[in-house]
Amino acid sequence: MTRLRLGLAAAGVFCASLALAQAGDPRRSGYQEMGPALRKMQDDDTANPAMLFVQAGAAAWAGKAGAAGKSCADCHGDAAVSMAGVAARYPAIAPTLNRAVDLDGRINLCRTTHQQAPALASESDDLLALGAFVALQSRGLPIAPPDDPGLAAVRTQGAALYERRQGQLNLSCANCHDDNAGRKLAGATIPQAHPTGYPIYRLEWQSLGSLRRRLRNCIVGMRAEPWDYDAAEYLALEAYLMDRARGMLLDAPGVRP
């Protein structure tokens, strides 16, 4: 029953995305740019390989951790209720830190403060699994970044990074994802850089990965020196990209070429 419900929800995302495009919004998600075979793989929770991570994340949600001996569920209860819409609102300002964090950062903040457990390593399977499980609870909901003045400087930095040329190829994110969106690169359609499906399972990676991993991929593709995984530049780009995608529907955890 659960698998059927989730599969129907994913199909609803596609239909709603089409309705959004037909309503005059020129934005297209990476999901909409894929061929029917990959869309079918994402829509079917029994075929979507990211769902293996979701299952691990569900177990981690219920499992007790750290010196406090608490689980995520002890504080948040039923994730389908408490986490609905959460992934669509990050990055956000964490009041206890007075700075922006992404969803992975928020998960680790809960671990270190409430569970008294070590933070999970960036891009680790454990962190990706929890992130995928939480993101699934927002599937089909509109991306809704907070209207927090504290995020303005972060988004401005992200916008500047998006437009900045770098690397041996002297390219910017905008050169590909604005100027050449919809065209082909190595047989794949260049998307418009709307992060609706993260974390995603990329067939190229044969694994689940975060938006930071995808951004790092792009920077390496420009023949530029990538930043460390925990660098503030990735957070700034994510904040800007999520704001660009405001109102589009989350389809995480996605599948991409």
The set of catalytic residues is: 218
Q: Supply 3's token pair.
A: 């698998």
Q: Can you tell me the distance from the alpha carbon of 252 to that of 134, in angstroms, rounded to the nearest whole number?
A: 9
Q: Would you give the DSSP letter of residue 256? A: E
DSSP string, 213-245: HHHHHHHHHTT-PPPPTT-HHHHHHHHHHHHHT
Half-sphere exposure of 255 (CA within 13 A, CB side): 22
**Secondary element (H or E) of residue 150:** none
**Secondary element (H or E) of residue 209:** strand 207-209
50-62 helix and 125-136 helix, angle to the nearest 10 degrees: 90
Q: Can you tell me the distance from the alpha carbon of 64 to that of 86, in angstroms, rounded to the nearest whole number?
A: 22
Q: Can you tell me the distance from the alpha carbon of 167 to that of 182, in angstroms, rounded to the nearest whole number?
A: 23
